[in-house]
Every structure is written in structure tokens, then in C-alpha cells.
A and B are shown apart, each in its own frame.
Chain A
Amino acid sequence: MRTFWILWKREVASAFQTPMAWVILFFLLLVTGFNFYAGVSVLNHGPTEVTVVESFFNTVFFWFSFLLLFPLLTMRLYSEEYRSGTIEPLMTAPVRDTHVVLAKFFGVLFLYAFLWMPTGLYFLVFWWQTHLTSAGAIGAFVGSYLLLLLMGMFYLSLGCLCSSLTRHQITAAVMTFAVIALFFLTGLLSFLAGHVDTMMQGITITFSPIDQMTQFSRGIFDTRPVIWYLVMTGLCLFLTLQSFQARRWRS
């Protein structure tokens, strides 16, 4: 456990010691800030059916920055260590492969959570300025951010897996983006189908981040996506461990 914390601390520290995290944070806040502004200005044109929180988490700006985030956050995790050779001193120290895989995952998860944290300020500012809540109920906040975290876990673990497969960061980033886009687009099938029956909805709700977000940002809690994301994260981390251990037989 001590080893895990030591590795985790280094992962987090190294993320903030390089400009990468700050650059990502800057652009993320820029895009989501504009997104929030757009959501609020809708209110100027009269009453709407969606709350500010709902509109915030369901625009093309949000999804665009959301999907771009994962390749950028995860591409260097393993590839950088392979390429620069630092994997050698790391793995000749008395550490287990599982320690490394978990420390890298939870390290980048912490960074991911950190990046989204300032967006909570938007809603605080809204409340402070207007004395109105930006969502129907507190559950909408909890739901939105919980889903953000769950989706993050799955996509970050996918990124870990891709990065553990190659020594080239760009390859890792492209792979991560392709796989995530594939999952994301699968969720859009329901839009193509036009008419959606309950069976179809049951399937797409597990795949479609957009459908899930529509629900969660209204404060509707559904266990299916929760379990889906937890299981898939576990699976991806397991595969990451396998691929990480396979380096021994590859080289």
C-alpha cells in the first residue's frame, strides 16, 4: 500500500510539473466557460424546458472537450516511460506490476477530477448572482458529476490500456481517441434509428453517454450505466496489467 501511494504521488506531481496539465486545464475552462455562458444566455430569450445544468452537460462544446480530454491525459502514462527508458529503474525497484498500473490509473483519475472541479464554480457563481439554483434539485449536480466521474474512469482506463501497448505517445493518443469515439458513436445509433422502442433504449442507455447524461443531469439515477462503467473500468485495468506484464516477453 505504501508503494502505491509513493507511485501515485509521483504520477500526480509529474502531471503538474509538466505544462501539459495546465494547458489542458486552460483550454477546458475556456471551452466549458463559453459553454456555460451559452447555456445562461438561452435564459434571456424567455422560459426554457431545460435547466442550466442540463444544458451545460449536453452541448457539442461539452462533448467535444470531453472526448478530446482522454487521449491527452493518458497518452504519456506508459509510452513515455517505455520511450525514455525510465521503466527500467522503475521495474527494477521492488514494486509490483499491479502497484504501477493502479497508481497510474488513480493518478490520472485524480488529475481528471481536478480538471473538472473548477466547473462547479460556474454554478456557484450563478447561484450567488441570481439567488436561483441552476438545477431542479441537488440530485442533478450529484448525478451529473457522478456520471462524469464514472465515464472518466472507463475512458481513462481505456487510455491506460492504449498507452501500455506502445512506446509512441501519438499512437497511444490516436488509438485511445478511435476506441472512445467508437463507443461514443455506438450510443448515437438510437438517433439514426429514428423511432426508439424500450428494447432499443435499454441497449443504447448502456452505450450512449448522451442519453445517460440527459438522465443523470435531470437527477434521474440509473444503476445500469453505473455498473457498466465500473465493470468496464475493471476489465480495462485488467487488460492493462496483462499488456504491461507482456513487455517482458516482447522486448
Chain B
Amino acid sequence: MISVQGLTKSYGSTDAVRDLSFSVDRGEVIGFLGPNGAGKSTTMKILSGYLPADAGEVRIAGFDILSQSLKARSRIGYLPENVPLYPEMRVGEYLRYRAALKGVRSRGITEKVEDALELCSIAHVRNQLIGTLSKGYRQRVGLADALVNEPDILILDEPTIGLDPGQIREVRELIKGLAKRHTILLSSHILSEVEMTCSRILIINKGRIVATGTPAELRERSGIPLSGSVRMEIQTANREAAEAVLTILQSLEEVASATVAKAPLAGSSSTFSWTRFEIIPSSSGDPRPGLFEEAVRRGWKLRELSGHESSLEEIFTSFVNRIPATTERNEEPKEAVNP
């Protein structure tokens, strides 16, 4: 649905986007992730036909965004950052105007507008002036505008910015619902949001794509599958037995250090007392398979073996921090041109 080849755009001497290439298939929900100023908004403005690129090619549903701009634009619903709207218009009036402008036939306008109002749960403010709406409602009016003509592609720039937690949840649910009918490209710098709503993630930093894949793939590629410690609960007869297990665990190759987090009560001789160990892995790899094998070999009874999967935050940081090396390398030719 969207194909981007070698996209480059600079503002004066600063490069906003450099040689960006990616493609989005029908039905995908792509999260565009990056720190502020990474080039997310610029890319989205180019994709929606608002800004021309300095170089590169953008095709929307097969139409070139520059030479077949009207056809391409009529297939996009775009929600700009900060959602600019006409404050003097009423919600329903604005959506009818936008639907007509986007080529919805006169007869279908009322129906489409009603659908959009309903979908974004703003039907009850339809007669209110946009200028009097709160940020959350304005955001939803913007979203209703983006999807009022049922475009194939939705480009949403920071759809949940400035909303309260309840509204954020609503908008996320809405986007998930939309994913059935639309191809969606959304940007965010909130990582959990992207993880929750998107099937694929593009991490962008300083105008370049630094990683792409599903959250799981990114997790694997980042080399930090687990964050923090692994928790292991083993049945031990008593404290002494627990100490013995601890010694064995500490001697394992996968384990950097192990501690007893919750020991059975002193003097307890119950056969059903469990000891919980906190284990810090020695390498960046996952120690859990090794720990399980050890438990099997020694005949330990295991109740829990768990680790926290590394959050997208950690993965993101690991990718973004790799950038300086590549950036330096790529700036060399530029300096040669402008000594």
C-alpha cells in the first residue's frame, strides 16, 4: 500500500530524513517509533503529500505522491500532529465539509459522517463549536476527519499525544478496531503504545531507520531478551537444603549471582516448603533453558521459572544508542563536499 524509496528531506542545512526506504502492506499496522526530532513527522508529512521530498519516491496504493498527487491523497486519511481545526465551525459541519472535500458523494455524506461520529464517540458534541472542545475531543474530531471517507490508508501522527489515560485507552482501542479495515501508519514516542497496537515497528532515529520488525523480532535482535533477574522456585525440605541448592545455582555458568528471596520458615520441616531464588544472568542470553536442565538433572521439583521479557524501552534504547557510529560514518562524504 505504501512504498517509500530513498526518501531524503532537509530543512536548510539540517537533514530531517535521510535515505529512508520501507514498505507497508495492506492491512498492516505500522508503528513509527523514534525520539522527538527523529524525522517521524517530516516523513508523515511527505507521505500525506503535504511536503515534497528532496529526493526519493513515495507511492501510495500505486500512485506517485507527486505526479498523481490527487489520486494518492484521496486514498489517505491524515491526522496531523496537534490536530489543526477551524475553531469557528461545528463538529458535524466540519466533518460534512471534509467528507465533501474528500470526494464523498453528496448522498453518502450524512451516512459517512454519522459513522465517523459514532466510531470516534463524538456524536454527542456534533453541534458544538470546535473551538470550545477539549484536547481529547479535538483529537477525536481529527481522527473522525481522517477516516470519514474510509480511505485505504490512515496516517496518524502522534494520535494519543495530550490525552488523559482514559482517552488514550479509548483511542488505542479505536485504532485496533480500525486495523481490520485500514492500513495504518502511526507515529509515537510512547513505546508501550506502539507495542500494543502495531503489528510491525519501524524504529527511526536521526532520519534513518535503525531497526524494523515485530516487537518479538526486535527483542531477539536487540540481544537483550530478558531484563533484570530470573525467578526460580524450588521445593526444599528445609533451610539447609535451600542453602545447598543456592550453592549449586551460584556455580552454574549461566548465573552471575543468585540469592534466596524467600526462604521457608526457620525450623519448618514440611516437605512442601518452597524456596524462591532470584538469579541474575551472567550473559545477555536467556539462562532459563540451562536452569531447567539443571533442575531436571538434579531432580528438583520446580514450581516457577520466570523472567521479565525486556521492555520495548530497553530495546529501543539499545537500538538508538548504536546510532552514533553509523552517523559519523555517513557524515564523512558530506563534510568532503562542504569543507
Q: Which residue on chain B has the smallest CB distance to residue A80?
A: B86
Select the stretch in A44-52, A90-98, A126-134 that faces chain B.
Answer: A90-98
Could you tell me the distance between the alpha carbons of A228 and B102 in the complex, rounded to whole angstroms? 37
Question: Once the chains bind, are B80 and A88 in contact (CB under 8 Å)?
Answer: yes
> Does more than half of chain A's interface fall in helix, strand or loop, or is it mixed?
helix
Contact residues, B45-59 vs A (CB, 8 A):
45, 48-52
Number of interface residues of A (CB under 8 A): 25
Contact residues, A216-241 vs B (CB, 8 A):
none
Contact residues, B282-305 vs A (CB, 8 A):
none
Q: Which residue on chain A has the smallest CB distance to residue B47?
A: A92
Residues in chain A near residue B76, CB distance under 8 A: 92
Does A3 count as interface, using CB distance less than 8 angstroms? yes
Could you tell me the distance between the alpha carbons of A96 and B71 in the complex, rounded to whole angstroms? 11
Given A6-B101, A92-B73, A93-B101, A86-B86 contact (CB < 8 Å): yes
- Kindly name the residue among B70, B74, B101 whose own CB sees the greatest number of chain A CB atoms within 10 A: B101
The one of B84, B97, B102 in contact with A10, judged by C-beta atoms closer than 8 angstroms, is B97
Question: Once the chains bind, are B73 and A7 in contact (CB under 8 Å)?
Answer: no
Contact with B along A132-167 (1 / 0, CB 8 A): 000000000000000000000000000000000000
Q: Which residue on chain A has the smallest CB distance to residue B72?
A: A94
Residues in chain B near residue A17, CB distance under 8 A: 88-89
Does B78 count as interface, using CB distance less than 8 angstroms? yes
Least Cβ–Cβ distance between B96 and chain A, in angstroms: 10
Question: Once the chains bind, are B101 and A3 in contact (CB under 8 Å)?
Answer: yes
Could you tell me the distance between the alpha carbons of A2 and B105 in the complex, rounded to whole angstroms? 10
Q: Which residue on chain B has the smallest CB distance to residue A95?
A: B101
The one of B73, B85, B101, B103 in contact with A86, judged by C-beta atoms closer than 8 angstroms, is B85
Contact with A along B81-93 (1 / 0, CB 8 A): 0101111110000
Residues in chain A near residue B145, CB distance under 8 A: 89
Question: Once the chains bind, are A92 and B50 in contact (CB under 8 Å)?
Answer: yes
Least Cβ–Cβ distance between B147 and chain A, in angstroms: 13
Could you tell me the distance between the alpha carbons of A249 and B86 in the complex, rounded to whole angstroms? 25
Question: Once the chains bind, are A88 and B49 in contact (CB under 8 Å)?
Answer: no
Could you tell me the distance between the alpha carbons of A210 and B67 in the complex, rounded to whole angstroms? 48
Could you tell me the distance between the alpha carbons of A95 and B73 in the complex, rounded to whole angstroms? 9
Does A198 count as interface, using CB distance less than 8 angstroms? no
Contact with B along A68-87 (1 / 0, CB 8 A): 00000000000000001111
Could you tell me the distance between the alpha carbons of A92 and B157 in the complex, rounded to whole angstroms? 13
Could you tell me the distance between the alpha carbons of A83 and B71 in the complex, rounded to whole angstroms? 27
Question: Once the chains bind, are B78 and A89 in contact (CB under 8 Å)?
Answer: yes
Could you tell me the distance between the alpha carbons of A220 and B80 in the complex, rounded to whole angstroms? 55
The one of B51, B73, B88, B142 in contact with A14, judged by C-beta atoms closer than 8 angstroms, is B88
Does A195 count as interface, using CB distance less than 8 angstroms? no
Least Cβ–Cβ distance between B149 and chain A, in angstroms: 9
Question: Once the chains bind, are A92 and B70 in contact (CB under 8 Å)?
Answer: no
Residues in chain B near residue A87, CB distance under 8 A: 84
Does B168 count as interface, using CB distance less than 8 angstroms? no
Contact with A along B32-66 (1 / 0, CB 8 A): 00000000000001001111100000000000000
Question: Once the chains bind, are B84 and A18 in contact (CB under 8 Å)?
Answer: no
Could you tell me the distance between the alpha carbons of A3 and B88 in the complex, rounded to whole angstroms? 21
Q: Which residue on chain B has the smallest CB distance to residue A86?
A: B84
Question: Once the chains bind, are A93 and B98 in contact (CB under 8 Å)?
Answer: yes
- Kindly name the residue among B103, B142, B145 whose own CB sees the greatest number of chain A CB atoms within 10 A: B103
Could you tell me the distance between the alpha carbons of A217 and B51 in the complex, rounded to whole angstroms? 49
Residues in chain B near residue A3, CB distance under 8 A: 101
Given A3-B101, A249-B52, A94-B88 contact (CB < 8 Å): no
Residues in chain A near residue B73, CB distance under 8 A: 92-94
Residues in chain A near residue B2, CB distance under 8 A: none
Least Cβ–Cβ distance between A238 and chain B, in angstroms: 21
The one of B80, B97, B103 in contact with A94, judged by C-beta atoms closer than 8 angstroms, is B103
Question: Once the chains bind, are A6 and B97 in contact (CB under 8 Å)?
Answer: yes
Given A17-B88, A86-B85, A86-B86, A94-B74 contact (CB < 8 Å): yes
Q: A88-B78, A88-B84, A249-B52 are in contact. List 17 more A-B contacts (CB 8 A).
A: A3-B101, A6-B101, A7-B101, A10-B86, A10-B89, A13-B89, A14-B86, A14-B89, A85-B84, A87-B84, A88-B50, A89-B84, A89-B142, A89-B145, A92-B76, A92-B78, A94-B71
User: Which residues of A line the B interface, CB within 8 A?
Assistant: 2-3, 6-7, 9-10, 13-14, 17-18, 84-89, 91-96, 248-249, 251
Closest 8 CB pairs of A and B: A85-B84, A94-B74, A17-B88, A92-B48, A86-B84, A94-B70, A94-B73, A88-B80
Question: What are 26 of the A-B contact pairs (CB < 8 Å)?
Answer: A10-B97, A14-B88, A14-B89, A17-B88, A86-B85, A88-B45, A88-B50, A88-B80, A89-B84, A89-B98, A91-B49, A92-B48, A92-B73, A92-B76, A92-B80, A93-B73, A93-B98, A94-B70, A94-B71, A94-B74, A94-B101, A94-B102, A95-B70, A96-B70, A248-B51, A251-B51
User: Which residues of B line the A interface, CB within 8 A?
Assistant: 11, 45, 48-52, 69-71, 73-74, 76, 78, 80, 82, 84-89, 97-98, 100-103, 142, 145
